[in-house]
Amino acid sequence: MVSRLDYNYLRSLMLRYLGIDISIYKVQFIYRRLIARMRALNLNSIEEYIVVLKRNPQELSYLLDNMTINVSQFFRDPHVWRAVREEVFKPIIDYKRSRGRRVIRIWSAGCARGEEPYTISMILHELLGPTLNGLTVTILATDIDPNAIEAAKLGGYDPKSLATVPPSLIRKYFYYDNMTGKYVVKDTIKRIVKFKVHDVTRHPPITLVDVIFCRYLLIYIAKDVQLTVLSNFYRALSSGGYLVLGASEFLPEKAYSMFETVNLRARIYRKRLNAD
Ligand SMILES: C[S@@+](CC[C@H](N)C(=O)[O-])C[C@H]1O[C@@H](n2cnc3c(N)ncnc32)[C@H](O)[C@@H]1O
C-alpha cells in the first residue's frame, strides 16, 4: 500500500521537521498508524496524503501524535506494581540503607502523560512515608513526544483516567481543580519527578539508575533497534539495577546476556554483573 518512495519521503520529512527518525519503529506499526491517520482524513491513498502533507506542514505533528500512542494508565497491570514494590523497591531500599547510601534514581522511559512516574512516586510515598525516610529519590521521566511531556508536567487528569487509582490515594495525592474539571497531582508527588523530552533510540542514556521502567514502548520499535536501546539501558543501570518491561513484552533472546529474570510474569529483569 505504501511504496518505498513514499515511505522514504515521509521519513525524511519527519526527520527534517520533527527530528524523529521513523525507521526506529516496526514498518507494520508505521503503516497501521499512517492508515489510521488517512482514514481520519477520508483519504484513500498515500499519494493523496502526501499532497495534504505538502499543503499543511501542521499535519506532520498530527501524524506524530498518531504514531506516539500515549495510551497509559495509573497502576497499569496492578500485579506488576505489587511485584515491583516487593521485589524491586523493598530490596533496593534495604540495600541502600545497609550501605549507608541515600540516593535512589529511577528512570521512566516512555512516560507518556505522566501516569507511570506518578504511580511510582505514589508507591514510594506509601512505602516510605511523606519524607521518604530521609532518602533522596529522583524519578527521571522521559518521552519522545514534547506534547506528552508538557501535559505530564501539568499533571491534570480527567476523572475517568483515575478509575485505576485506589480512592484512598486519590484523596491523599490529588486535588480537584474546579476551573479545568481535572484531578491534579499534588506537589508532594510531583516534587521528585523530573520530566524531559528524550528519544531512547538516539539520545545518550540517563546514568547511574537503580531501576528503569520501559513499558509498552519496545513493542513498537524495530528488532535491531530494540537491542541498541537495551544495551543503552544496560549501561545506564548501576550494578545490580532492575529493568521493568510491559507485561505483554518479551526481552529479546540476545538481551539475556545482559539481563537475568527476576519475575517473568511481571517482566522484571536485573542487570547481570558479568555481562559483555
Ligand atoms: C504506549 S505508551 C506507554 C506509556 C507507559 N510507559 C505505560 O506503560 O503506560 C508509549 C510511549 O512511548 C513513547 N515513545 C515512543 N517512541 C519513543 C522513543 N523513541 N523514545 C522515547 N519515548 C518514546 C510514546 O510517545 C508514548 O508516550
Smallest CA separation from ligand 1 atom 3, residue: 216
How far is 151 from 207, CA to CA, in rounded Å? 25
Which grid cell is 180?
479545568
Q: Does the CA dihedral 265-271-272-276 come out positive or negative?
A: positive
- What's the CA-to-centroid distance between 112 and ligand 1, angstroms? 6
Q: Kindly report, residue by residue over 199-243, the tens digit of the pLDDT.
A: 999 988 899 999 999 999 999 999 999 999 999 999 999 999 999
- What's the CA-to-centroid distance between 94 and ligand 1, angstroms? 30
Those residues whose C-beta lies under 8 Å from the C-beta of residue 42, and which sit 6 or more positions away, are none
Q: Please list every protein residue whose CB sits less than 6 Å from any atom of ligand 1.
A: 24, 68-73, 76, 110, 112, 116, 143-145, 148, 199-201, 215-217, 246
Whole-structure pTM value? 0.92
3-class state of residue 157 by DSSP: strand
Q: Which of 64-68, 158-162, 163-167 has the lowest mean pLDDT?
A: 64-68
Q: Evaluate if residue 177 carries a pLDDT over 50.
A: yes
Smallest CA separation from ligand 1 atom 27, residue: 112
Q: Kindly report, residue by residue over 21-49, the tens digit of the pLDDT.
A: 889 999 888 888 888 889 999 998 888 88
Q: Which residue has the cell 535491531?
A: 224
How far is 111 from 192, CA to CA, in rounded Å? 15
The domains of the chain, with CATH numbers, are: 4-67 (1.10.155), 78-271 (3.40.50.150)
Alpha-carbon Rg for the chain, nearest whole angstrom, is: 20
Q: Ligand 1: which atom is nearest the Cα of residue 73? A: 9
3-class state of residue 51 by DSSP: helix
Smallest CA separation from ligand 1 atom 18, residue: 199
- pLDDT given at position 274: 66
| 8-state DSSP, 247 | T
